[in-house]
Amino acid sequence: MRVQVAIIGAGPAGLLLGQLLYRAGIDSIILERRSGEYVLGRIRAGVLEQAAVDLLDEGGVGKRLHEEGLVHGGIELCFDGVRHRIALADLTGGKHVTVYGQTEVTRDLMDARAAEGGRTIYEAEDVSIHDFDSDRPKVRYRRNGTVHEIDCDFIAGCDGFHGVCRETIPRSAVKEYERVFPFGWLGILADVPPVSDELIYVNHPRGFALCSMRSRTRSRYYLQVPLEEKVESWSDERFWVELKRRVDAEAARTVITGPSIEKSIAPLRSFVAEPMRFGRLLLAGDAAHIVPPTGAKGLNLAASDVRYLSRALIDHYRSGSMKEIDAYSGKCLRRVWKAVRFSWWMTSLMHRFPDTGDFGQKIQETELYYLTGSTAASTSLAENYVGLPFED
Ligand code: APR
Ligand code: PHB
């Protein structure tokens, strides 16, 4: 079999790339190790920058997002027991974020691909990539005991942090940068109305908390927990009691609790692999970089890479030139590093660190008072949160 672009991974990055290429008349196949149901079962973040919304519109998959997504013009920072609003829209000339779960983005993309007859091979086993340092890359996979080979012009490595693509690049050709944070996030999803209309990021001596949502009837809450914590030791009751201890008095009084429908612990990591291109292999999304979830940048960065990659591939098939492909890694990484810096900064500002003690807490609170009291500092937070500009 032959295709123009072989995409490895059917997460948001791979599916969105496939969608944008399809709309430009570029032929692709997506190979995914898991089943479609498994991919949809993963609960991830849910805040979209305007640029990600625009890209989903460009792919023709924005309808439900506009009907059901919640448009937010601010976030709240809670510290020293009091909430302070950061007026994102007022500070950025009217930019908003949209709260719409990654699961729903993935579902919309999957449905569109199925309706358009795009090829996605789920449960593709032992995917391997070959000859991407030549003009004739190949991809192999096994399904139901039969090995298949695909010839292509380009391989898009959209296979997440644990994927095969980045791992196949020769070690000497990649530089990796990493910071693992000494705590995790315990998250629960519950069918209860959110405590506030906007997200609340909480700095508390007992640890960070986040009050988020998926809709007006479904809430997502997180607590900072030690890395070694086991999800089994957190009953719903224990979770709600701890959340109420960390949020402000009004939120503690008004939060509506209920049974969790999902509960999990995720580690926090910053990671970047450079460059994002090796010959005809182009990495996008979590395959190339990970951010801690504090700034809600993971999905947005995946969309940002796909924006650059789809444009580069479309330009190549229209003009025959490799200019935009050559520019891909540099353009992506300049924006990636800004989001990595912002996510690291917001994580450092909001969490308890085991080694910084009361002094660290005071410094954080002082920075938070400065941030919420200074228009210049609030604007810096706001413009990063809603998403920094693109190069083209
Ligand atoms: N072969 C085929 N598919 C693979 C392989 C493999 N060897 N390894 C991984 N995959 C698949 C995974 O099963 C997954 O469905 O690649 C997909 C990668 O998807 P994501 O991990 O969701 O990554 P990405 O599409 O880059 O999306 C980034 O997801 O992790 C969040 O916070 C992150 O929101 C961000 C977004
Ligand atoms: C979420 O709703 O899951 C969420 C929201 C904002 C974040 C991280 C996660 O910064």
CA distance 73 to 87: 6
> Quick one: pLDDT band at residue 207, thresholds 50, 70, 90?
very high
Average pLDDT for residues 228-232, to the nearest whole number? 96
Q: Is 39 in the pocket of ligand 1 (CB under 6 A)?
A: yes
Which of 15, 19, 32, 141 has most ligand 1 atoms within 8 Å of its beta carbon, as the pocket-test mutant?
A: 32
Position 292 scores a pLDDT of: 98
43 pLDDT more than 90: no
Mean pLDDT check: name the lowest of 19-23, 40-44, 99-103, 150-154: 40-44
User: What secondary structure does DSSP assign to 176-205, as a single string?
Assistant: EEEEEEEEEEEEEEESS--SSSS-EEE--T
Position 115 scores a pLDDT of: 96
Q: Is 286 in the pocket of ligand 1 (CB under 6 A)?
A: yes
CA distance 33 to 126: 8
Residue with tokens 């000339």: 93
Q: How many angstroms is it from 162 CA to the middle of ligand 1?
A: 8
Position 44 scores a pLDDT of: 84
227 pLDDT more than 90: yes
Q: Is 13 in the pocket of ligand 1 (CB under 6 A)?
A: yes
pLDDT digits (tens, 9 = 90+) for 64-90: 999 999 999 999 999 999 999 999 999
Q: How many angstroms is it from 72 CA to the middle of ligand 2?
A: 13
> Are the beta carbons of 27 and 153 closer than 8 angstroms?
no
Q: Which domains are seen in the chain, by residue range? A: 5-45+101-177+270-350 (3.50.50.60)
Atom of ligand 2 nearest to the CA of 45: 3
* Residue 41 CB contacts under 8 Å (≥ 6 apart), including other chains: none
> Quick one: pLDDT band at residue 182, thresholds 50, 70, 90?
very high
> Are the beta carbons of 130 and 32 closer than 8 angstroms?
no
pTM of the model: 0.97
> Quick one: pLDDT band at residue 45, thresholds 50, 70, 90?
confident
> Quick one: pLDDT band at residue 42, thresholds 50, 70, 90?
confident
Q: Is 101 in the pocket of ligand 2 (CB under 6 A)?
A: no
> Quick one: pLDDT band at residue 6, thresholds 50, 70, 90?
very high
Average pLDDT for residues 227-232, to the nearest whole number? 96
Q: Which ligand is nearest to the CA of 185?
A: 2
CA distance 150 to 296: 35
> Are the beta carbons of 234 and 252 closer than 8 angstroms?
no
Task: Tell me which residue of 271, 243, 298 sits closest to 181, measured CA to CA.
Answer: 271
Q: How many angstroms is it from 211 CA to the middle of ligand 2?
A: 8
> Quick one: pLDDT band at residue 374, thresholds 50, 70, 90?
very high
Position 283 scores a pLDDT of: 98
pLDDT > 70 in the chain, percent: 100
367 pLDDT more than 90: yes
Position 105 scores a pLDDT of: 97
Position 250 scores a pLDDT of: 98
pLDDT digits (tens, 9 = 90+) for 113-169: 999 999 999 999 999 999 999 999 999 999 999 999 999 999 999 999 999 999 999
Q: Which residues are catalytic?
A: 72, 201, 293, 297, 385
146-167 burial: b if 16+ Cβ within 10 Å, else e: eeeebebbbbbbbbbeebbbbe
Position 278 scores a pLDDT of: 98
Q: Which ligand is nearest to the CA of 220?
A: 2
Atom of ligand 1 nearest to the CA of 34: 13
Mean pLDDT taken over the chain: 97
